Amino acid sequence: MNNWITQVVTVTGMNIRSLPQRWGSTTVAVVGIAGVVMVMVGILSIAAGLVDAMTDKAPKDIAIVLRAASTGEMDSIMSRDDVTAISEAPGIARIDGKLLISPELFVIVDVLRRSTGTASNVPMRGVDANVLAVRDNVRITEGRMFEAGLNEIIVGRGAQEIFEGIELGDTPRWGNNTWTVVGVIEADGGMPESEIWADVRVLQAAQNRGSTIQAVRVKLASPGAFAGFKDFLTADPRVNVSVKTESEFYSEQSRFFSIFINTIGIFVGVMMGLGAIFGAVNTMYTAVSARTGEIATLRALGFGASPVVFSVLVESLLIGLAGGLIGAALAYLIFNGFKISTMNFQSFSQVTFSFAVTPALLKSGVIYALLMGFLGGFLPSIRASRLSISTALREL
């Protein structure tokens, strides 16, 4: 066993010392693998960022109540009587004896995108005055809260960065109403950062909605209170509603997009990976050809075939590791935190979020690079082990 290890170390050391002689082909292989990892991780970080914004950042102690059978807030219609019934359910948190419940209206407004100047659908939400107590993950970072009864709005930081005309103090006009931006909200990258908020009663009047709403958000006393809250409303004959946690609600909305992007990322990674593998195969075949005499000499001195195979695979894995680390580093530096917006097809409105190059994605990228390196070195290593000693020595 010790002799085998010694042989492996000797042959591997010889391979590594000869790298400068093959610097060109080795660099091509490393760059190819790095490019594959960078692109694949970059694409997958889109889905990871969307899931982070829509699901991971959604509080676990907030429930959303919609009309039964509705696919989202856009096609849900509820009345004030529904709100009254919902407020009687157990498990709702209170502050100073006041229930933390927010009846909400959800509409779409056109806002110009900074990058293109084209109009995009941006969600505008009518909320109750106590919404910041209900959604305690949301905070005002600039300006102030809107005043009840006035045409004032507060804007999500993400929406403000992507779209124009909604800076603090701006007065955007939608339909027959002019609004004044009085505050900016942040939610650690969560969904509220994609939205514009106004007083629900003012928005109802502006949209001619009467007293109807589309959703009710409820702050639960604890995440464990959700089951009792849901069971009560499900059994209540006064209402016909669907009850979900906010995390569950947004997870369902992001599922299609997440699967779509992940499928594209994996497909692109596999297609590009095939090219990188061929590059690695070429590099390792070149390496074996350049060291035919050395390998034959070692075999003649008693070195076995398996140490030769192992040494070639080690070199190929090192090339894969180098490419993987470089590609992962580039993906993190280029993509992580890059903010974009995309269409939420459930609400037909824009969602702003940041690419998320997570540790799991970086790990997957490096593992994929090692796999490409292994596959790239497998056939050349077999060729090296099968070299005819007599033929190779005659070529010296």
Every domain of the chain and the residues it spans: 2-56+253-394, 69-239
280: helix, strand or coil? helix
pLDDT of residue 384: 65
Instruction: Specify the amino acid at residue 161.
Output: E
pLDDT of residue 157: 94
What CA–CA distance (Å, rounded) separates 377 from 283? Answer: 9
Q: How are beta strands 119-127 and 196-199 bridged, if at all?
A: parallel
Using alpha carbons only, what angle is made at residue 340 by residues 351 and 146, rounded to the nearest 5 degrees?
A: 50
Q: For 8-57, how does the pLDDT look when each residue is reduced to its tens digit (9 = 90+)? A: 777 777 666 766 666 777 788 888 889 989 999 999 998 888 888 888 87
Does position 213 have pLDDT exceeding 90, yes or no? yes
* β-bridge mates for residue 110, sequence order: 121
What percentage of residues in the chain have a pLDDT greater than 90? 47
- Left if phi > 0, otherwise alpha if psi is -120 to 50, otherwise beta: which for 139? beta
CB contact at 8 A, 241 and 326: no
166-181 mean pLDDT: 93
21: helix, strand or coil? helix
254-259 mean pLDDT: 81
- Least confident range from 175-184, 311-320, 382-391: namely 382-391
What CA–CA distance (Å, rounded) separates 384 from 388? Answer: 9
pLDDT of residue 301: 65
What CA–CA distance (Å, rounded) separates 349 from 122? Answer: 5
pLDDT band with cut points at 50, 70 and 90 for residue 390:
low
Closest of 365, 366, 364, 338 to residue 353, by C-alpha: 338
- Say which DSSP state 379 is in: H
Burial class (CB in 10 A: 0-12, 13-18, 19+), 123: buried
pLDDT band with cut points at 50, 70 and 90 for residue 129:
confident
pLDDT band with cut points at 50, 70 and 90 for residue 293:
low
- Least confident range from 243-257, 299-313, 357-371: namely 299-313
Instruction: Specify the amino acid at residue 229.
Output: F
What percentage of residues in the chain have a pLDDT greater than 70? 86
| Structure-block tokens of residue 269 | 């990674």
Using alpha carbons only, what angle is made at residue 196 by residues 190 and 197, rounded to the nearest 5 degrees?
A: 100
200-228 mean pLDDT: 93
> How many residues in the chain?
396
pLDDT band with cut points at 50, 70 and 90 for residue 206:
very high
pTM (2 decimals)?
Answer: 0.80
More confident residue, 306 or 395: 306
pLDDT of residue 93: 94
- Average pLDDT value for the chain: 85
